[in-house]
Amino acid sequence: DVVMTQSPLSLPVTLGQPASISCRSSQSLVYSDGNTYLNWFQQRPGQSPRRLIYKVSNRDSGVSDRFSGSGSGTDFTLKISRVEAEDVGVYYCMQATHWPITFGLGTRLEIK
């Protein structure tokens, strides 16, 4: 299985400051069709996961433009330009390029 390694595991951030989460995969996530199937999910406390970003850098409908995704191959990043209180939760990267789908262990974002 493809191992997804996230860092940091815990991310304390001051309100209004930027945040960055790294995700590395044990294999390239480029699929045979040229797409890279790397998604980011947000899970707020007590809620279901919510997809934020798909195929590396595409924001889902309704997702704030404070969130952006980038990367290629095996290295990916989720950035939040200015952290707000509602961003508290756990963020997961997930790959769907290789069978089976695998998730990172998650990065817990908290407000300092």
Question: Which chain residues interact with other proteins by CB under 8 A?
Answer: 1, 31, 33, 35, 37, 39, 41, 48-51, 54-55, 60-61, 92, 94, 96-97, 99-106
Q: Give the nearest distance from C-beta 19 to other proteins in angstroms.
A: 19
Residue 103 in tokens: 């998730």
Whose Cβ is closer to other proteins: residue 68's or residue 97's?
Answer: 97
Whose Cβ is closer to other proteins: residue 60's or residue 66's?
Answer: 60
Residue with tokens 């789908």: 101
- Count the Cβ atoms, other than its own, within 10 Å of residue 97: 19
- Count the Cβ atoms, other than its own, within 10 Å of residue 17: 12
Whose Cβ is closer to other proteins: residue 52's or residue 83's?
Answer: 52
Q: Give the nearest distance from C-beta 23 to other proteins in angstroms.
A: 12
Look at residues 35, 39, 65, 58 and name the one whose alpha carbon lies nearest to residue 50. 39
Q: Give the nearest distance from C-beta 81 to other proteins in angstroms.
A: 22
Residue 97 in tokens: 């390029």
Which residue type does 61 have? Answer: S
